[in-house]
Amino acid sequence: MTTDQGLGIRSSMALRTLYQALLDSDPARLRTIANLWKIPLTTTRKTDLAAEVMAGMVSSEAVSGVLEMMSQEQRAALDELLRHGGALPWAVFVRRSGEVRNLGAGRVEREELWREPVSPAEALWFMGMVQRAFAEQNDQAVEMAFVPEDLRLYMPEPSEIEI
């Protein structure tokens, strides 16, 4: 259990595994993530899609490749999460890193909205680097933005912010 001193957040940081988070995603998001990570898909069943996407994401080569394609703003947003143990309340994350539009799966695929995200947060969401889950904070359920431990294992430590 860790505590973020600045935000008073207590969570186990193991909010959900990558596979659990991907299972909560709709098939369109899974296909988007696979497209951005260059993961070939061989199935259409949601549980199998989630497994294939997860398998394609969890390696140092795959994570390094996605980190290299990120803009400086996207990397800064990811590093902010990593400096907070990999998780922040969703409201704090989007306030700091930009909105994530609530879009229908059909629109995302049809208009290929991942090609022009409106913010670093939305880009990280489309990439699957950031997931959403609820955690308990002060006896209340709080929606969290988090980087699954499965991916954090392959990420370098974020640089410290210079003041």
**Are 52 and 41 spatial neighbours (Cβ–Cβ below 8 Å)?**
yes
Task: Kindly report the pTM of this predicted structure.
Answer: 0.87
Provide the pLDDT for residue 8. Answer: 45
Half-sphere exposure of 73 (CA within 13 A, CB side): 10
d(CA 44, CA 50) in angstroms, rounded, equals 10
Nearest to 9 by CA among 131, 134, 124: 134
Provide the pLDDT for residue 26. Answer: 92
Rounded to a whole number of angstroms, the distance between the first and last alpha carbons of the chain is: 28
d(CA 126, CA 50) in angstroms, rounded, equals 14
Nearest to 114 by CA among 133, 132, 101: 101
Provide the pLDDT for residue 109. Answer: 78
Provide the pLDDT for residue 14. Answer: 60
Provide the pLDDT for residue 3. Answer: 45
- Which amino acid is present at 48? D
Write out residues in the chain with pLDDT < 70, as ranges: 1-14, 161-163
98: left (phi over 0), alpha (psi -120 to 50) or beta: left
Structure tokens at 161: 């912010």
pLDDT digits (tens, 9 = 90+) for 54-101: 999 999 999 999 999 999 999 999 999 999 999 999 999 999 999 998
Provide the pLDDT for residue 11. Answer: 42
